[in-house]
Each structure stands twice: as C-alpha cells, then as structure tokens.
A = this chain, B = another copy of it.
Amino acid sequence: MLTTELSEADVSALRVNKERLAKDLHHSCQWGYGIRWGDGSTDTGMQRLALSEEDKSVRDWFIQTMKDLKCQITVDEMGNIFAVRPGKRTDVPATFIGSHLDTQPTGGRYDGILGVLSGVEALKRMDEMGLETEGGVGVVNWTNEEGARFPVSMIASGVWAECIPLAKAHDLKEVPTVASLPTAASAPETMKSALQKIDYLGSVPCSYKATPMAAHFELHIEQGPHLVSAGQRVGVVTAVQAYRWYRLNVIGRDTHTGTTAFEHRADALYAFSCMMVRAREVAKSRGCLASVGIIEAKPGSVNTVPGTVSFSLDIRGPETELVAEVEKELRKDFDAIAAEEGAGIGKPCRVEWTLDFDSPAVKFHEDCISCVQDSAHAVVADAPVADTKSLVRPIMSGAGHDSVFTSKRVPTSMIFVPCKDGLSHHPEEFCSANDCATGASVILQAVVRYDRKRFT
C-alpha cells in the first residue's frame, strides 16, 4: 500500500499503538532515570545529560531499534543520529520526525523523549501496516537540545542548519555545576571530547547539505498551562517566541563581612540581587520573561563579601524586537545598579555582558502547519464532544526547539500535547499515555499527508 493511493478517510483513520508507544517510551527511560516522585514504576524524573554514559546507552538502543525497522543510519560530526526508512523514490530527501533524547539535570520523561519515540512508533505502525511512502520517512535524534550540559541549546540542529559553526560547537565546554554531576568528568569537557568518549563523533558533515530533509515535524509537550487548563488536546504550533541567552559578570571587590560597612562595600552578590529583582519588573512590563538559571559567586566563603558574580540571563518574548527592548533597558538599569554599589569607596561594581545565543522569533511553514492541523482535527474527531475542532488550537511555543533551526532550511512545524500543570524541566513532568498517543497519531498522519502533498 502506497501513501498516495490512500483515500482521505484512510489517512484520517491512521492511529499509533498507544500501549506500544508508552512501553517503548518508558523502556528508553531506564537509561538515566532521575528523582523518584511517586510509587509507580515510571514515577521518576530523568537525568540524562547530553553525551553522558546514559545518553550513549539510549542512543545505542535507538540505533538498534531503527536498524530492526530496516532503517539506514547516519551519525554526523555533532552526533546527530538520522534513521531513514526508505520510500519508493530513492532520489528525494526523506520527511523527518525529530526531537532529542537528552534531558535537563532534573528533567522528566517527556520533554524531547516523546518527540523521538513518536517517530519510532510511527515507523513501527507503518511497518506493520505495510505502508510504503513516496519519499523516505526518517527519525532524527538531535544532540544536546537542552543546552544543560553544553550551554547552547539546540546547538546540533544549529550546526546542521549552518547557523552555528562546527568548531564553536566542538570547542564548547560543559557547565561546571552540571559537570560536577557523577555522570560527567571532573574537569569541564569539550563537546568534541565528549562525543569521542562515547563514540558518537560521526564522520558525515553536520549540515543540511550532507543530510537533507524534505520537512521536519516535531511532537512535544506544551510545557505551559494553556492546553491543560482549557481542556484542549492538540496545539498546532505556528510560531516560536524570540529569546536570547547571556552570561553576565558583576565585578566588585572581595572584603571582610565583619569589618566592612555597607557603604564601603562593592558587593557583587548584592548588586546581582537588585538586578534580578529589576529584570522581572522590566520583562513583566513588556510581556516578556527574564530568568536566571545559573549563578556563581566568588570566592565563596561565609565571611567574605563576594567580589565576583557570574550568572546566566534568559530573556524571551513573542517578538524579536521586544526582547531587544528588554535587553536595552536592562543594560541601562544594571549599569546604574552597579554604579551605586561601591560608589562609597570610589570603586563601583561593573557589569559585563556576553550574548551566548540569539534565537529570533520563528514562523513555521504553512504547508506543514496545514498538514498538522488537518491531522489534529482527524485524530480528535471521535472525541465525545459536540465541537471536536475546539479541542485543537493554534499556539505559540515559549521554548526553543530543534524545529527552530530546521525551519531555517526546510518546511517545519510542531505539535503540542498537554502536560500536567504545564510543568516541565522538573522530575514530575507528566503527559498521559492517551495524550502521548494523540500527539503521535497526529504526527503519523502529518507525515503521510506531507508525503501525499509532495507527490500528487
């Protein structure tokens, strides 16, 4: 049976196997399971940092699983794994389902993992149906999407899109606080060395030219409260908000906590505290977000006022310009805060900014969005409500995803499913087996619809 020979009704009837998807997903979570939060066998979070030993194990399992489905495997210089189920035509690039298998240090079982596993399940379903596609269908596992161990998120899809130079990515060092986890080496390691260590430094160039795609679809938990609080089942992702990641240093002066009056201090940590309070005020006033995830104060002694504080700053907003405005205002305000702290001794604090990552707002591709929307409407059509279309809504993504980078080179869109309390990056992150299967069925149909669109 060939996709282009199916009827519209045939396509709309396509569903994944819910039980098999759940089983495979939790099977893959045996590598790097994290903090336990409940009594059930799957009631743990995940701690599977990119390129850790646990990541190697799940990668090995992924490749073996895809080989069993007769896929062709490609590993590129960033350790991205592309598994392609060949189609009828061998002269065209495959349509991909992709996401990532790495997690936050205190992450959950769905962020990224559901995206890859939905691809595995989609291919298993096609295989057992004997469904042939015109172009191939692939599943891709992108390396270090989280940016938790190596502090640039989506770095490997960024290199693939030729938006980030390979050398920069290879030389990137792991975050010391995360490096102190038992899974990592004692001294900060580069990405290239970590790739070599687990034997995932492939020889194929990491580029959309070497490993082309027809399109990229990604299924993800929403990581926000909109779907779950409205009782909706599928989000058709039309765009991704803009964000920028910075590293800041505040430089003051180390002094004794017991003998230095406040007016004689240039306390870098006090200045930081004022900055963080201000960052929320400014971001809020423009409908944006500002967050600090990493902080280090030196020298780090109870009775020494810290002379140096380094921290990460993550600014997000619905429009690229809004993020730029928040940055501009904070640069001014942080300078003012720094100038005041230490003014009494004529040695005020100062602030240094480094922009690590800049992801402008993204609009996804109309063709992909319509495939997702049609599929979503078809999948929820049997729901016991009057207006099933109300269970589907267009939505903007607050988080970055590998789809941000693929969208720069190939038609791309995403599918969101609800997660409990809108919570993610937390061990208790949860998406029900029903919602996982709904999302996977949508992506299965979307890929089939896209294949039909390409070749009819």
**Residues of A that sit less than 8 Å from B by CB:** 104-106, 146-148, 151, 153, 175-178, 180, 186, 222-225, 241, 243, 245, 253-262, 264, 267, 269-270, 272-274, 276-277, 280, 283-284, 289, 291-295, 297-307, 312, 314, 316, 345, 397-400, 421-427
Question: Quick check: A301 and B297 within 8 Å, CB to CB?
Answer: no
Contacts of A262 in B (CB 8 A): 280, 283-284, 289
Contacts of A274 in B (CB 8 A): 273, 277
Question: How many protomers of this protein does the assembly include?
Answer: 2
Question: Quick check: B104 and A398 within 8 Å, CB to CB?
Answer: no
Question: Quick check: B297 and A258 within 8 Å, CB to CB?
Answer: no
Question: Quick check: A269 and B295 within 8 Å, CB to CB?
Answer: yes
Which of B176, B272, B304 meets A106, CB within 8 Å? B304
Question: Quick check: B257 and A422 within 8 Å, CB to CB?
Answer: no
Contacts of A151 in B (CB 8 A): 302
A49 to B293, CA, bound (A): 30
Question: Quick check: B259 and A223 within 8 Å, CB to CB?
Answer: yes
Interface majority SS on A: helix, strand, loop or mixed?
A: loop
Most B CB contacts (10 A, CB to CB) among A186, A245, A398, A425 go to A425
Question: Quick check: A398 and B258 within 8 Å, CB to CB?
Answer: yes
Question: Quick check: A399 and B104 within 8 Å, CB to CB?
Answer: no
8 examples of A-B residue contacts, CB within 8 angstroms: A104-B304, A106-B298, A148-B304, A180-B180, A223-B260, A224-B256, A262-B284, A269-B295
Question: Quick check: A291 and B314 within 8 Å, CB to CB?
Answer: no
Contacts of A400 in B (CB 8 A): 258, 303
If the complex has contacts A243-B258, A255-B426, A295-B295, are A314 and B303 also in contact, measured as CB distance less than 8 A? yes
Question: Quick check: A224 and B399 within 8 Å, CB to CB?
Answer: no
Question: Quick check: A423 and B277 within 8 Å, CB to CB?
Answer: no
Question: Quick check: B297 and A295 within 8 Å, CB to CB?
Answer: yes
Contacts of A180 in B (CB 8 A): 176, 180
Question: Quick check: A259 and B302 within 8 Å, CB to CB?
Answer: no
Question: Quick check: A292 and B269 within 8 Å, CB to CB?
Answer: yes
Contacts of A304 in B (CB 8 A): 104-106, 148, 293, 425
